[in-house]
Structure 1
Amino acid sequence: MWSRPPFGEKLRAELGTPRRGRRLGSSPRSRVWRAEVSGTPVVVKQLVEGPEADERYGREVAALKLAARVDPPVVPALLGTDPDERVLVLEHLDDRRPGEDWVVGYACALARLHAATGADDAGALPAWSGPGHDDVGSFLGLARTLGVAVSAAVRNELDDLVNRLAGAPGHALLHGDPCPGNDMHTGDGVRFIDFEQAALGNGLMELAYLRIGFPTCWCVTAPPRPLLHAAETAYRTTWRDATGTELQGDLTDACAGWLLRGDALVQRADRGTADHLAELPDRDWTWGTATARQRLVHRLGVVGEITADGGSDLTGLGQLAAAMRHRMLTRWPALRPLPQQRP
């Protein structure tokens, strides 16, 4: 069924009259159409009225303009905007089903996206925001509920972690939600879409997605270890080639930061509404390809493993994470590992 995309006089004057519009699937926060303008296929996206709609629109437009610096492209071209109606007109891309090694190409494109910005771009987007001390309290409360003792040393480690993450170096262009589904695998490489949560910060916070299990995403996967290592190496190499510098920061800190966030167990509409870690002992819930307990068990295992050599400032947290994971698997032995491939 044909549907008319929201093209006002401004866009019609700049681009022409849209034809053959068809609604596409999207999140509840937006409406998306495929259409033709002057015989060229385009995508029209409108952010619907709601909390922070204007801010999300501004972030997306700003991020797309910053990312347009990258060549070959890592985002669709932004063809037109109508701020009054919160409408973007984007280049239409043909998405292909990714291969089993998709994480490697994804990591390369993510590094090139991150490298689009630098210190001179400070203020062009909000700064990335990490976990806070309330998250620490919720996480340690869950540990106690599971029957795992918490030492004062671990509390100090976590307070220091929160402070380090708040001051993590970097002005990378962060996507904000770099999930499977927000990456399009085209014949010319991976391109990212949906920048409503874009920010500036340290790229390790999003490189960590591959290892910690895509914490803001409905489609959560845990790539096989050889592919994970290949993807992380590809990211670092691509970053070095694009910037001429080595990546700064600590991937262990980034992974531990995602572990603390109870809001990273629920979809965006439910974030900030409850202490989700406190709910976990009494109920489990499914979001996308995994349950909340599956997600947390995976993250606990990652942090326990990545700190196991004792060379981290988070040795106590690693031991606590391992003990919490053991208690969870003992209490709920039917919990399965995360899927290795996207659906």
Structure 2
Amino acid sequence: MESILRAAGALLDTELSGPVDLGGSSRSTVLRCTTADGGSVIVKAYGDGPDSLRCFTAEAAGLSLGIAGPEVLGVDIAIPLLVMADLGDAPTLADVLLGNDPAAAEAGLLAWARGLGRLAAASVHRRADLTLLWARYDKGMPSWEEDPWIPRNPAALLALLDDAGVAAPAGLAEELARIGTAGGEEYPAFTPGDTCPDNNLLTAEGLRLIDFEAACYQSVFMTAAYCRMPFSSCWCVFALPPGTAAEIEQAYRDEVVGVYPALADDDVWQAGMRQAIAVWTVDATVRVLPRSAQDAPLHRTRRPVPTRRQLLRHRWEMASGLEEFPALAETMCSLLREVAGDWDVPALPGYPAFANRETRTPAPSAANTETRNPY
């Protein structure tokens, strides 16, 4: 920690003290530090593993694009680490969704969707800039756009089905190959990568996006699917009230139609959304099903939170209605029947905040009091 403080202080030409560990992860150490003049900054130092190095480059490049996220105050490529402006302790979208104020939750969701849409629209002509920034902070790892995670997942899904004794219907491999073409080349836009509820601060100045470790360009549908599913790759997944998912999806769509007018066509939009849902459902199955033999909460400490099996069943139920992917839909039905049929778990509940839609009691500033790492 001392070496991190010295390196970060050298970047700012000031002494840093009083580091508070904000949690970090296996990839990084995140500290809130006090500057010599009494202010505070966020210092994020990364490990030397492949995942850590790629996350460093993605975050340094994504934040340096300057269209979202906290201001970058300094970058040390050698260590590597970032020094960022401190956005404070504003509640996250996860906090209000897990709270008890439905108005705050709905406002937070709309601010999140509009913010992501505006970011996407503002970024359309900046892809070359991100490529240059990636080269500046390159640590020898392929970018997220170069990682073939989408076309790689179909083979993993087929292997999982075989292990689970679920017969793959005719045409599934061909459908998966077609689904695997989604992700970036059609209607691309910038995303921080991990746009989950706990990575969005609801500040007095509005939504502030944080955690750019997976920053890249991808299809706007891959981000818009977070509105409908909801939150395609996240732990904070509950059922949204009727109409709310459609409302936040439209808020995102309204922002991107200005740069991609073709998305005003409902046929184009719905087809893209269904393909993105297929991509994310395959990904969730590949990631979570191998760990579902032992059901467990999706987050180590946050409560309430769904379990792995609740999440998978919810994803499979939604994907079972993808009519243009009949083999995949049949596969989802088979998983629901032959795998989830033996799971003694309740249905995915609604977000706690909306359980009190009529009472509208004040929300706490956070869903719990543990130290959180939004960075």
Specify if TM > 0.5.
Answer: yes
> What is aligned with 1:150?
168
Tell me which of 175, 179, 193 is aligned to 1:161: 179
> What is aligned with 2:30?
32
Q: Is the 8 A contact 1:15 1:80 kept in 2?
A: no
Distance across 1 between alignment mates of 2:311 and 2:213:
24
> What is aligned with 2:113?
107
User: CA 1:58 to 1:134, structure 2 compared with 1: closer, same or farther past 3 Å?
Assistant: closer
1:298 aligns with 2:296: no
Q: Is the 8 A contact 2:6 2:16 kept in 1?
A: no
Distance across 2 between alignment mates of 1:206 and 1:6:
34
Distance across 1 between alignment mates of 2:8 and 2:30:
19
- Deviation at 1:29? 1.7
- Deviation at 1:111? 1.5
Q: Is the 8 A contact 2:47 2:53 kept in 1?
A: no
Q: Is the 8 A contact 1:108 1:235 kept in 2?
A: yes
Q: Is the 8 A contact 1:284 1:292 kept in 2?
A: yes
Q: Is the 8 A contact 2:28 2:46 kept in 1?
A: yes
Q: Deviations over 1:90-147 (max 9, x none)?
A: 1111312532212221111112222342355243553165655553244345556666
> What is aligned with 1:258?
280
Q: Deviations over 1:31-78 (max 9, x none)?
A: 122223333222111113333333221110100011x23xxxx41111
Q: Is the 8 A contact 2:310 2:345 kept in 1?
A: no
User: CA 1:318 to 1:139, structure 2 compared with 1: closer, same or farther past 3 Å?
Assistant: same
Structure 1 gaps of 5+ residues are 267-276
The residue correspondences of 1:165-184 to structure 2 (distance < 5 A) are: 165=182, 168-184=185-201
Identity of aligned residues (%): 26
> What is aligned with 1:274?
none
Q: Secondary structure at the match of 2:195?
A: coil
Q: Secondary structure at the match of 1:84?
A: coil
1:186 aligns with 2:203: yes
Q: Is the 8 A contact 1:80 1:90 kept in 2?
A: yes
- Deviation at 1:256? 0.5
Distance across 2 between alignment mates of 1:206 and 1:291:
23
User: CA 1:35 to 1:207, structure 2 compared with 1: closer, same or farther past 3 Å?
Assistant: same
User: CA 1:128 to 1:185, structure 2 compared with 1: closer, same or farther past 3 Å?
Assistant: farther
User: CA 1:34 to 1:134, structure 2 compared with 1: closer, same or farther past 3 Å?
Assistant: closer
TM-score, L = length of structure 2: 0.74
Q: Is the 8 A contact 1:295 1:338 kept in 2?
A: no
Moved more, 193-202 or 286-295: 286-295
Structure 2 gaps of 5+ residues are 97-103, 135-142, 300-304, 354-366, 368-375
User: CA 1:107 to 1:120, structure 2 compared with 1: closer, same or farther past 3 Å?
Assistant: closer
Q: Is the 8 A contact 1:108 1:234 kept in 2?
A: yes
Structure with the larger RCO, 1 or 2 (CA within 8 Å, 6+ apart): 2
Q: Is the 8 A contact 2:284 2:312 kept in 1?
A: no
The number of aligned residues is 318
TM-score, L = length of structure 1: 0.80
The residue correspondences of 1:67-146 to structure 2 (distance < 5 A) are: 68-69=66-67, 74-94=68-88, 95-96=90-91, 97-98=95-96, 99-101=104-106, 102-118=108-124, 121-122=127-128, 123-124=131-132, 126=143, 127=145, 129=147, 131-132=149-150, 135-143=153-161
Q: Is the 8 A contact 2:28 2:47 kept in 1?
A: yes
Q: Secondary structure at the match of 1:225?
A: coil
